[in-house]
Amino acid sequence: MRRTCAALSVLLLLAGCAGGGGGPRPASDEASRKMPATAGSGERYVLAGDAYPEDPPDVAEVPDAVPRREARSRGGNTSPYEVWGKRYEVMADARGYSRQGRASWYGEKFHGYATSNGEIYDMYKMSAAHRSLPLPSFVRVTSLENDRSVVVRVNDRGPFHSDREIDLSYAAAARLGILEQGTGRVTVEAIDVERWIADNGDASRPRVASSPREDAVASVPAAPAASREPSVAGGSVFLQVAALGSADSARQLKSRLEGEIDRPVRVASVTGLHRVQVGPLDAAGQVDPVREQLRRAGFAQAFVVNDAD
């Protein structure tokens, strides 16, 4: 989410990261140097500098991103592109990428805003930004200081700082133990999705078992809740757009969506997370048209949840 290019057209295509964490103060000097994108009525971001979330939920148990087959994003893959007068190339293929460097993280300032590929940045999910990997990509990030490891999904551009290799979400940085110092030395290794699926199963494909026993012993790992869409045949459902840690950000997103689509929008808050959801949708035939409206509005990752979820 680092909109730092001189030209407004490039600013709208590139999002980057805050370049470092570290305390309830602004996360780094780089955050204060960033040029906010403007849209005629004021600054792009509410905060002038990046910072810790004020009252974050416990992210210790946030699961790794699950590698899966995905088409290249329409946004964020333009190559070459230029930031701060420096030219960058986007790789044609992430396979085989392995590099050591310094990881930073980005947080509250960018939470709830669009990433480079048009998704909504959620600092409580396992995501990251990289200058040259194709969007999306899946990478394993391993701390060289404590040997902790996470798998993240790269959906953003950055960090545009010469000594940094990757910008991590708040959750990923917390898992690696680099929140307090702001940065940490890591190894970044791209995951070959086809090989991962061959070894672990395709988490994006629904698993059908012919008996309870087969279901119990099946080796394919279950997909995260966000990728297991419930049936819409039996009652009201919602399309969830984002789960945010900031109530204010959730309300702002709700107001924005109400101006973009012709359906009700609600904020469902529980255990420190504020879920922005469109609905209720009473019939299966309503889901796809509303999902298309959301896609046109820049929210391509909405997924179905039941009313009780």
Report pLDDT digits (tens) over 207-252: 443 333 333 223 223 333 333 344 444 557 888 888 776 777 788 8
- Structural domains of the chain, with CATH: 1-191 (2.40.40.10), 229-306 (3.30.70.1070)
What's the pLDDT band for 62 if we cut at 50, 70, 90? confident
For the chain, the 3-state helix, strand and coil shares in percent, each to the nearest 5, are 20, 25, 55
- CA atoms of 168 and 174, how far apart (whole Å): 9
Say how far apart CA 271 and CA 27 lie, in whole Å: 25
Residue 87 pLDDT greater than 60, yes or no: yes
Answer whether 0.75 is exceeded by the pTM: no
Structure tokens at 81: 């592109």
pLDDT-based confidence at residue 18 (cuts at 50, 70, 90): very low
| pLDDT score of 289 more than 60 | yes
Dihedral sign of CA atoms 212, 217, 220, 221 in order: positive
203: pLDDT confidence band, cut at 50, 70 and 90? low
- The whole-number average pLDDT for the span 256-279 is 84
What are 154's strand-pairing partners?
128, 137
Of 68, 239, 52, 57, the C-alpha closest to 153 is: 68
- In angstroms, the first-to-last Cα distance of the chain is 29
> Which amino acid, residue 90?
V
CA–CA separation, 128 vs 126, rounded Å?
A: 7
Mean pLDDT of the chain: 73
- Residue 33 neighbours by CB distance under 10 Å: 12
Q: How far is CA 252 from the centre of its chain?
A: 18
Residue 137 has phi, psi (to 5 degrees) of -135, 160
